[in-house]
Copies of this chain bind each other. A is one copy, B any other.
Amino acid sequence: MDNPVVTGFAWAPPFAQGLIRDLRVRWALAEAGLPYAVDLIRIEDRKSAAYRRWHPFGMVPAFAAGGRKLFESGAIVHLVAEKSEALLPADPAERAETIVWMYAALNTVEPPVVDLFAVDVTSRDQDWAKLRRPSAVETVGERLAVLADRLAEREYLLGRFTAADVLMATVLRFLRDSGVLPEYPVVAAYLERCEARPAFRRALNEQLAEFAANEPVPA
């Protein structure tokens, strides 16, 4: 994990600010106490042939460390977490349970959450979006009810903070304007707890400051 460099967007439109997935990687590195550099690309360059030789899906984050080039936010957070007990417990049982909740965040919770985000935000003008909303809300609600049970007597998913919380909290942030979170106060309080962590604040503020500095000048 020598000289880590996180690739993000120089600027993103307001609906996406605070949700771009390099936030996960910055936050994880900050929790682990690993200094890193940032490399910013223009959002319109993400599908360029040059960038796709690094990140074939043309998304962010991309990541470089120790001469190795990686992509996929979950994998990068996983590999960063392996370098720090602050993110991945050494105890084998706790480590396994952390990995369970990391995958649960990205494969069981994120897909319905992003479906609802598409309905409300990115695809809101599509003719199917309004019709799809009730079932999208229902599935998100099922997932949040499970999280509420899990977090009823735990401060974080594993009790103590881990990389699973980095992933789960950055997933839950996609619900910020959905109106769904207040119905699950245990989950909403958990998200606030995660967002109050100094490492999260630092990562988010850094990303938002970059967006502000690179905001396009109106024509």
A residues lining the B interface (CB < 8 Å): 56-57, 59, 68, 70-76, 78-79, 93, 96-97, 99-104, 106-108, 110-111, 114-115, 123, 126-129, 131-132, 135, 143, 146, 149-150
> Contact: B107 with A107, CB < 8 Å?
yes
- Could you tell me the distance between the alpha carbons of A203 and B109 in the complex, rounded to whole angstroms? 27
- Could you tell me the distance between the alpha carbons of A93 and B66 in the complex, rounded to whole angstroms? 10
- Could you tell me the distance between the alpha carbons of A143 and B126 in the complex, rounded to whole angstroms? 21
- Could you tell me the distance between the alpha carbons of A68 and B127 in the complex, rounded to whole angstroms? 47
- Could you tell me the distance between the alpha carbons of A108 and B150 in the complex, rounded to whole angstroms? 26
> Contact: A128 with B123, CB < 8 Å?
no
Q: A71-B100, A127-B131 are in contact. List 19 more A-B contacts (CB 8 A).
A: A56-B146, A56-B150, A57-B104, A57-B146, A59-B108, A68-B93, A68-B96, A70-B97, A70-B100, A72-B100, A72-B103, A73-B107, A75-B99, A78-B103, A79-B96, A103-B106, A107-B107, A128-B128, A131-B131
